[in-house]
Amino acid sequence: MSANIVAFISGNGVLVTTRGPGKVHLLSYASNFPGLPNHVGATTTTNSGVTRFMISHSYTFTQFAFYWEGTGEAVFSIGNELLHQPVGSSWTQAVNIQYGGQPAINSDVSGQVPSAVQRDNEVTCFIIPDLI
């Protein structure tokens, strides 16, 4: 990734592009508020073609990790970066992004998941409509 492309700063969102049906799982952790639990959930697509997701953020958390559970491939990019990198397929190979920092691919964040509050379809991971 380019040194000047920083996730969630200056409008640099994280885009995940997938092929086929499946789920993007998102973990939000490392809360700014003591005692607030991690949040984990998934957003599902049944599309047999390409689906684009936006990984947003919450100012409540400073770390975000995601992976793709699906039949096809998945890649991600940050902001207007042309480079697309693969998305892992489990919490032990998740893409891990720090608010305002560079992503770390294939990070093991599985230790953060067991205590997380389940938030399927309520996490900050949104399907981007085709007309945008």
The pLDDT tens digits of the residues spanning 19-57 come to 999 999 999 999 988 889 999 999 999 999 999 999 887
User: What pLDDT does residue 3 have?
Assistant: 54
* pLDDT tens string 64-118: 999 999 999 999 998 888 889 999 999 999 999 988 777 677 899 999 999 999 9
User: What pLDDT does residue 5 have?
Assistant: 75
Give the DSSP letter of residue 23: E
User: Does residue 1 have a pLDDT over 70?
Assistant: no
**CA pair distance 123, 116, nearest whole angstrom:** 12
User: Does residue 2 have a pLDDT over 60?
Assistant: no
Tokens of 1: 């990734």
**CA pair distance 37, 75, nearest whole angstrom:** 28
User: What pLDDT does residue 4 have?
Assistant: 65
Instruction: Please report the beta strands in 71-128, taking only residues with DSSP state E, as ranges in sequence order.
Output: 74-78, 85-86, 94-98, 104-107, 117-118, 125-128
What is the phi/psi pair of residue 85, to 5°? -120, 150
User: Does residue 63 have a pLDDT over 60?
Assistant: yes
pTM, to two decimals: 0.89
Residue ranges of domains in the chain:
14-128
Give the DSSP letter of residue 132: -
User: What pLDDT does residue 131 have?
Assistant: 53
